[in-house]
Amino acid sequence: MTSKTAITVRVSPAEAQRLWQTPEHRPEYIKSTEATVTFKRAPGDRGTEIHVDLNRQQDGKLGEAVSKLMGSGPRAMVKDELRRFKQKVEAGVIVRSEGAPEGEQASRKLKQRPAQPLQEPKREKAGAR
Amino acid sequence: MRANVWSGRNTVQVENVPDPKLLNDRDAIVKISSTAICGSDLHLYDGYVPTMKRGDILGHEFMGEVVETGSGVSNLAVGDRVVVPFPIACGNCWACTHELFSVCENSNPNAGMAEKVFGHAAAGIYGYSHLTGGYAGGQAEYARVPFADVGPIKIEDDLSDEKVLFLSDIFPTGYMGAEFCEIKGGESIAVFGAGPVGQFAIASAVMLGAEQVIAIDQYDYRLAMAVNRAGATDVINFSQDPDVVEQLKLLTGGRGPDAVIDAVGMEASHGHGALHAAERVKQATRSESDRGHALRDAILACRPGGIVSVIGAYGGLMDKFPTGALMNKGLTIKSGQCHVQRYLKPLYDRVRNGDIDPSFVITHRMELGNAPDGYEIFKHKQDECMKVVLKP
């Protein structure tokens, strides 16, 4: 399994790198790993490609299979965080649905809530406004 | 509030659920005045769309009155009357800025799930499985509308709900299907499926200048509406003669239609006996998710160099796809969930101008509490059912 993943964000490389460091956008999980992060100008008007390489084999074969199945491995968490970064930078919010109120979260994939409104305190706990 | 929820294959029920709350600054809450059952809701009802969960609120065609707005929504005010487009779109990503709203890159919070199935995630959709985001739908008394500053269109004229409700999905969907056909005047266009989307595809092809529009269905009452209300010039009832390809060639002097619109999708019901029987088995046992007679025949019937426009909903994989015909005849396929936000204003203007009154498709009006009956009547085409509108 590759240890690399990438996303494209619609701002300039300079702006992407600046936002990457700000408290409201900082990707805490990625920062906590030894991942290599590269910012690269995307072709045309597409913005910036952010490439993340975890640089290592995770958990051995069995652990890898389990975490891939559960969608909860390090690479899945990196992808979640990249998607949330893109949402905050482009749309200004973390996108939430009733079934996935915390927003993009690989570990939610197998245990979605039903798509109906949440009652307090679940709404607040999910981090919604 | 009351809401119509999915509770397993062939079962929906109206239940009491919590009222929706804002989850983000760009959300609004809408008190729903009219909502409809879509043909694509029947794919959920029939159990052919994966990632449904018991308790999911259904419905993606709705309108109503704004009762609350988040701090990021400045274009709408409490009391505004709005129609809500079914794809949820952020308005900021590359896709949205290129008017490709139904493939918004940000609005599906289950993008990781969708990527595994489709390679990429498409936009979030209200009440349409967790693969499209797990959003609560609009067959309810209230709904939360994310990115309310981008999606909803304000209705300021004194037009009834029934005239504007279908701007949410089926009118723009049918229109986009016709627009894909690049009609310049004088074309022959065939439309597979004379359900509500097919009716609007036919009406739009006529509006855009097609000379011959052929409606294909198995129900005479639908073909009669296609001719009398939508403006079809010819009809094919495949329950009388299943060889649709040959009939289309005869109706077009052997040329084949210049463009063919598939307004059927994954539960096509015509086709040649043995293949249809085999496909029913494969789909029922979940070894093939999309039953594809309509799309196969569309490709076989289309004239060389023509366009195949796919607006019927598909969800997975299809067998026996006629790649040879597609390639050797030099066909172009255009497809997609409708980029509704792109069409709202121009089609609202057409309704205001009186070019079209979309309410012609409505055959059944019910209270929200009767939604389960509405699904059954619509599914089994009882009582010449075409379109069910629910009133909360």
The predicted pLDDT at position A62 comes to: 62
Tokens of B55: 């308790």
Burial string for B18-44 (b: 16+ CB within 10 Å, else e) reads bebbbbbebbbbbebbbbbbbbbbbbb
pLDDT above 90 as % of chain A: 63
Question: A90 — contact with chain B (CB < 8 Å)?
Answer: yes
Question: Which residues 55-84 of chain A have a CB within 8 Å of chain B?
Answer: 71, 76, 79-80, 83
DSSP notation for B181-224:
T---SS-EEEEE--SHHHHHHHHHHHHTT-SEEEEEES-HHHHH
The pLDDT value recorded for residue B44 is: 94
pLDDT at A124: 82
Residue B127 touches chain A, beta carbons under 8 Å:
yes
Phi-psi region of B271 (alpha: psi -120 to 50; beta: other; left: phi over 0): left
Min distance A39 CA to chain B CA atoms (Å): 18
User: Rounded to whole angstroms, how far apart are CA atoms A128 and A114?
Assistant: 17
Q: Taking all residues of chain B, what is their mean pLDDT, rounded to a whole number? A: 94
pLDDT, position B319: 87
- pLDDT by residue (tens digit) across B133-187? 999 999 999 999 999 999 999 999 899 999 999 999 999 999 999 999 999 999 9
| Cβ-defined contact of B130 to A115 (cutoff 8 Å) | yes
- Cα distance between residue A93 and residue A86, in whole Å: 9
Instruction: Tell if the CB–CB gap between A80 and B18 is shorter than 8 Å.
Output: no
Residue A111 has pLDDT above 90, yes or no: no
pTM, rounded to two decimals: 0.94
Residue A45's pLDDT band, with cuts at 50, 70 and 90, is confident
Higher per-residue pLDDT: B174 or A1: B174
With bands split at pLDDT 50, 70 and 90, how would you rate the model's confidence at A61?
low
Q: How far apart are the first and last CA of chain B?
A: 10
> Which residue shows structure tokens 């919590």?
B18
Per-residue model confidence as pLDDT tens digits over B270-282: 555 555 666 666 6
Tell me the pLDDT tens digit for each residue of B22-77: 999 999 999 999 999 999 999 999 988 889 999 999 999 999 999 999 999 999 99
The alpha carbon of residue A88 is apart from the nearest alpha carbon of chain B, in Å, by 9
- Give the Cα separation of B111 and A94 in Å (integer): 13
**What pLDDT sits at residue B249?**
98
The pLDDT assigned to B204 comes to: 98
Record: contact A123-B23, CB cut-off 8 A: yes
Summary mean pLDDT of chain A: 88
Residue B292 above 90 pLDDT?
Answer: no
What pLDDT, on a 0 to 100 scale, did the predictor assign at position B363? 98
Give me the pLDDT at residue B224, please: 98
